Structure 1
Amino acid sequence: MPDTSLPTAEAVSDAYDRLAALTETLGGPDLHYGYWSGPADDTPIEEATDRLTRVVVARLAAQPGDRVLDLGCGNGRPAVTVAESTGAWVTAIDVNEHALERGRAWARERGVESLVSFERCDALAMPYPRDAFDGVLVFESTPHFLLEPLFTEIVRVLRPGGRVVLEAPFLRVPVTEDIGPRLAAYFEMFQVVSIESRESYAETLRAAGLRVDAVEDLTEHTEPFYGRILARLDTLHAELAAEYGAEAVRWIRDGIAGCATVPTGSVLITARKPFG
């Protein structure tokens, strides 16, 4: 579901600067979906988002000494988890310098600062040579891009035989006239370009030259996310309004509530760059 006006990297960075503290209060520092066993699972949001990080990172199957790119790394939690759990060298990129600083601090705290490099760059024009990485992690960063140019650049920097692991939100229903308005506040808040269908991710990966090995629908595990974020927001409303302003809280609630009314899900795709 593309938007015709594409946000700049600076606009995306500015959006996260405005909203980072508030969104982390609501959803924790990982800045992505949580993973629950089902509606009865009362795992706190912060633990559930870490659980999803570990599910996604496991699909990389990285080894000590591998070179992994985390594209759109945010606060760096997945990048640090890759380094901690596999011993791989990780290059974590983002357009937001404050997020990168948070990532560097987290890597130092976890004792893996020598394995993770946090770098500011545009994912559509990366300063890395062809075949530079053994694996690429794309963790809920696709909404900021048109898929075709993004996947083309990923294929360029991925070595033959290298693996791409992508986790992303997707639309579970065809696009209709009423969906756009319900997502408008969310798109504006985070400078989103599109939320695609599950099939379009796999089709565009194949068109870019990758072999898709697995497509996993995680929706049953991630579905509680928006409801739990809204419940936390309503519980903390007075406190949040006092700290961040009533208008900011109303704005972010409208965006999350709009998303909650649209049938979305989470897809986890593993793909490889063929040899030859």
Structure 2
Amino acid sequence: MTTGDETAVRPATADIGRSYEDMAGLTETIGGPDLHYGYWDGPRDPAAVPAATRRLTDLVVGRLRAAPGDLVLDAGCGNGLAAVRIAETTGARVVAVDVNPAALERGLRHACEHGVEGLVEFRRADALALPYGHGTFDAVLAFEITPHFELRPLLGELTRVLRTGGRLVLESPCLLEPVGDPEAAARVRAYLDMFAAGHMHTAREHLESFHDAGLRLLEYLDLSEHTAPFFPRMLRRLERRRAELVTRYGSAAVERERRTIAGWARVPGSGSVLLAGAAPDAKRPPDARE
């Protein structure tokens, strides 16, 4: 965790899977099955959370520039809706990997419901040890997964399986600046613990790790202003359905979710970024621009 604590350890993959099962039902009931941030044009944008999460998915997927015949990796695919959306909107073939078998089963159901089961393969795998050879994929997606990893090993492995010139697109929560205040650091830690995650990296660390992986940076977007409405809207949705949620999940789980979301939203410099990069062409200098 980039809050001055250098002792954070990545949880075991089994712990990550269990954590998502523990909180996925509650979070999905509040905000829908995407389990990631949404995108709003501003604080007055009336879009509901599920519509806004679809917007963010489309924004991120569009950066892949995938096309029919391409092979795309969705690393840490969760419930698989981004992988399904890639197949739906681009016609590309998608390999979606995750460590959580239950999430992979849900992903397959989503693919069947959207009629793209022939284009999307779901497979259990760790993003740090992918069972694919060098240069296998035309594009790679890392959608809000970096808190579970050290950045350099993750981006090194994702770049390894990316063909020359292929695109890697990453969107993630982050810290726009390091957190030094102990109270704010505790709120960050609570947010990470809810997902059995180990690190909240800074925006600069994401940029540096792209460079260290040999990726040519094509685009960098600070999405923080557009994703910030996610938190107050999730909290309002939780309060509207509190009685139902307490009946289904228990008062302790509901209160933990409320407290953790509210705490992360109050962390100075909490935000989100999108980066797109390309595996360098050996025939071009590393700093060449498209």
**TM class by smaller structure:** over 0.9
Which residue of structure 1 aligns with residue 238 of structure 2? 233
TM-score of the pair, normalised by structure 1: 0.97
TM-score of the pair, normalised by structure 2: 0.93
Matched, 1:183 2:188: yes
Matched, 1:209 2:214: yes
Q: How far, CA to CA, are the matches of 2:202 and 2:260 in structure 1?
A: 20
- Contact 1:66 1:134 (8 Å CA) reproduced: yes
Which residue of structure 1 aligns with residue 286 of structure 2? none
Which SS does the other structure have where 2:63 is aligned? helix
Which SS does the other structure have where 1:137 is aligned? strand
Matched, 1:265 2:271: yes
- Contact 2:76 2:99 (8 Å CA) reproduced: yes
The one-letter amino acid paired with 2:278 is R
Alignment of 1:185-200 (within 5 A): 185-200=190-205
Matched, 1:12 2:16: yes
Q: How far, CA to CA, are the matches of 1:184 and 1:254 in structure 2?
A: 12
Q: How far, CA to CA, are the matches of 2:221 and 2:262 in structure 1?
A: 26
Q: How far, CA to CA, are the matches of 1:56 and 1:19 in structure 2?
A: 24
The one-letter amino acid paired with 1:21 is G
Alignment of 1:97-112 (within 5 A): 97-112=101-116
Matched, 1:32 2:36: yes
Alignment of 1:145-184 (within 5 A): 145-178=149-182, 179-184=184-189
The one-letter amino acid paired with 1:6 is R
The alpha carbon displacement at 1:34 in A equals 0.5
Q: How far, CA to CA, are the matches of 1:195 and 1:185 in structure 2?
A: 11
The one-letter amino acid paired with 2:217 is V
Q: How far, CA to CA, are the matches of 2:240 and 2:80 in structure 1?
A: 28
Once the two structures are overlaid, the 10-residue window that deviates more, 114-123 or 261-270, is 261-270
Once the two structures are overlaid, the 10-residue window that deviates more, 257-266 or 2-11, is 2-11
* Pick aligned residue for 1:126 from 130, 144, 166: 130
Q: How far, CA to CA, are the matches of 1:84 and 1:267 in structure 2?
A: 25
Q: Deviations over 1:2-32 (max 9, x none)?
A: 4522201110000011111001011211111
The alpha carbon displacement at 1:173 in A equals 2.9
The alpha carbon displacement at 1:116 in A equals 0.2
The alpha carbon displacement at 1:269 in A equals 0.6
- Contact 2:222 2:273 (8 Å CA) reproduced: yes
The one-letter amino acid paired with 2:164 is P
Q: Deviations over 1:24-62 (max 9, x none)?
A: 011211111001111001111000000100011000010
- Contact 1:134 1:159 (8 Å CA) reproduced: yes
The one-letter amino acid paired with 1:272 is A
Which SS does the other structure have where 2:172 is aligned? strand
The alpha carbon displacement at 1:265 in A equals 1.3
The alpha carbon displacement at 1:180 in A equals 1.6
The one-letter amino acid paired with 1:139 is F
Q: How far, CA to CA, are the matches of 2:188 and 2:274 in structure 1?
A: 22
The alpha carbon displacement at 1:169 in A equals 0.9
Which SS does the other structure have where 1:230 is aligned? helix
Tell me the percent identity.
51
Which SS does the other structure have where 1:64 is aligned? coil
Which SS does the other structure have where 1:125 is aligned? coil
Q: How many residues align?
A: 276
- Contact 1:185 1:254 (8 Å CA) reproduced: no
Q: How far, CA to CA, are the matches of 2:265 and 2:234 in structure 1?
A: 10
- Contact 1:211 1:271 (8 Å CA) reproduced: yes
Once the two structures are overlaid, the 10-residue window that deviates more, 247-256 or 114-123, is 247-256
The one-letter amino acid paired with 2:206 is Y
Alignment of 1:240-251 (within 5 A): 240-251=245-256
The one-letter amino acid paired with 2:60 is V
- Contact 1:159 1:273 (8 Å CA) reproduced: yes
Once the two structures are overlaid, the 10-residue window that deviates more, 255-264 or 1-10, is 1-10
The alpha carbon displacement at 1:133 in A equals 0.3
The alpha carbon displacement at 1:203 in A equals 0.9
- 4+ aligned runs moved over 2 Å, structure 1: none
Which SS does the other structure have where 1:60 is aligned? coil
Q: How far, CA to CA, are the matches of 2:203 and 2:170 in structure 1?
A: 11
- Contact 2:8 2:199 (8 Å CA) reproduced: no
